[in-house]
């Protein structure tokens, strides 16, 4: 698509139900809504905006009051959102997306917003051509001969892999693949695949990757060394129920969950620095061992 086409492209207008969601969202988080906001956001006529507001008032008559002086609708003291996802996390997700530029403001409902910033971690650049070849190999059931740089080897090496899935630990992307050299399923960091040399039909059945196709709970709880009040605070921080939180994930990704929570550190740091502990560490021991020894995961070296 040319630059000119990008500049002149305008998203399609959203339907009436989406406009009602917009009204509800603005009333919930801004406390007000008026015709001008609908007109500017959706590119609709004043008549259509009035119709949408009237329709919303019919569906939720106790949610809004008209302020004649300010010529705007205000959320009433009896306001109750019509949206199933009208919680704090939904708002914060939208605020983060706007702040980072991950999603254009024209597709999100946030109106007024406070001063906000989000920490941006370095991106792990992935070559577009490499990603395309990986996707095609997954789709078509092929092996790839890749030049891969592991942090536990001094130089990049050629190896045949049979990719079958992609995964992310929120900081970098991996391809899940059978490694013909090691004769086991492993994770390969996408940004460390320097190039694809060749392809061939694969004889590997992805269904045999038991750790990818099975799941496990990573159960966390407050450290026992914390005071009762500190434990209660941690329970609230993580939305724990009954003093614990169960994070269900693929076995192949469990190590990343544990590492991101910094629960793989040995010895464990002081409780004020790391207030969490694994409740089912014994059950996760084997997966932790695999994660630590894998040259491809590079658990200790990023």
Q: For residue 241, which phi and psi values (nearest 5 degrees)? A: -120, 125
- The β-bridge partners of 177 are 163, 186
Confidence of residue 294 (pLDDT cuts 50, 70, 90): low
pLDDT digits (tens, 9 = 90+) for 137-180: 999 999 999 999 998 899 999 999 999 999 998 889 999 999 99
List the Cα angle 140/142/145 in 5-degree steps: 145
- The pLDDT of residue 8 is 36
pTM: predicted TM-score of the whole model, two decimal places: 0.77
Q: Write 240-245 long-range contacts (CB < 8 A, 24+).
A: 244/219, 244/220, 244/279, 245/219, 245/220, 245/221
The pLDDT value given to residue 160? 98
pLDDT for 10: 41
For the chain, give every domain's residue range: 3-107, 128-208, 214-293
DSSP state of 156: -
CATH number of 3-107: 1.10.10.10
What single string gives the DSSP state of each residue in 70-136? Answer: TTEEEE-TT-----TT-SHHHHHHHHHHHHHTSS-GGGS---S--------PPP----HHHHHHHHH
Q: What is the pLDDT at residue 130?
A: 96
CB 161 within 8 A of CB 209: no
What's residue 5's pLDDT? 36
Q: Give the pLDDT score at 107.
A: 85
- If pLDDT is split at 50, 70 and 90, which confidence band does 1 have? very low
The answer on pLDDT for 253 being more than 60 is yes
Q: Indicate if the pLDDT at residue 302 is higher than 50.
A: no
Host H or E run for residue 167: strand 157-168
Cα–Cα distance for residue pair 184/168, rounded to 1 Å: 20
Assigned CATH topology for domain 128-208:
SH3 type barrels. (2.30.30)
pLDDT of the residue at 3:
36
Banded pLDDT at 106 (limits 50, 70, 90): confident
- Give 187-240 pLDDT, tens digit per residue: 999 999 999 999 999 999 999 999 999 999 999 999 999 999 999 999 999 999
Please determine, for residue 298, whether its predicted confidence score (pLDDT) is greater than 60.
no
- pLDDT bucket at 7, cuts 50 / 70 / 90: very low
Q: What is the pLDDT of residue 267?
A: 86
């Amino acid at each position: 698509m040319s630059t000119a086409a990008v500049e002149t492209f305008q998203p399609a207008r959203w339907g009436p139900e989406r406009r009602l969601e917009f009204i509800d969202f603005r009333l919930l988080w801004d406390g007000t809504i008026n015709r001008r906001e609908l007109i500017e956001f959706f590119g609709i006529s004043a008549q259509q905006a009035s119709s949408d507001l009237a329709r919303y008032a019919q569906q939720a008559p106790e949610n809004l009051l008209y302020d004649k002086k300010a010529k705007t609708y205000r959320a009433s003291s009896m306001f109750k959102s019509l949206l199933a996802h009208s919680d704090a996390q939904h708002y914060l997700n939208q605020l983060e997306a706007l702040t980072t530029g991950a999603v254009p403001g024209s597709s999100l409902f946030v109106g007024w917003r406070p001063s906000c910033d989000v920490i941006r971690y370095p991106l792990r650049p992935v070559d577009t051509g490499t990603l395309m070849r990986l996707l095609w190999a997954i789709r078509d059931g092929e092996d790839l001969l890749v030049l891969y740089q592991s942090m536990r080897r001094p130089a990049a090496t050629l190896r045949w892999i049979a990719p079958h899935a992609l995964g992310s630990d929120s900081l970098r992307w991996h391809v899940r693949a059978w490694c013909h050299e090691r004769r086991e399923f492993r994770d390969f960091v996408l940004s460390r695949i320097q190039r694809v040399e060749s392809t061939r039909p694969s004889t590997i059945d992805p269904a045999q990757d038991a750790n990818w196709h099975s799941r496990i709970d990573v159960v966390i709880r407050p450290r026992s060394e914390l005071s009762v009040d500190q434990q209660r605070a941690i329970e609230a921080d993580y939305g724990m129920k009954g003093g614990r939180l169960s994070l269900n994930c693929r076995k192949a990704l469990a190590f990343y969950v544990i590492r991101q929570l910094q629960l793989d550190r040995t010895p464990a740091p002081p409780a004020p620095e790391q207030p969490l502990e694994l409740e089912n560490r014994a059950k996760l021991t084997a997966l932790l061992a695999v994660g630590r020894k894998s040259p491809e995961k590079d658990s200790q070296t990023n």
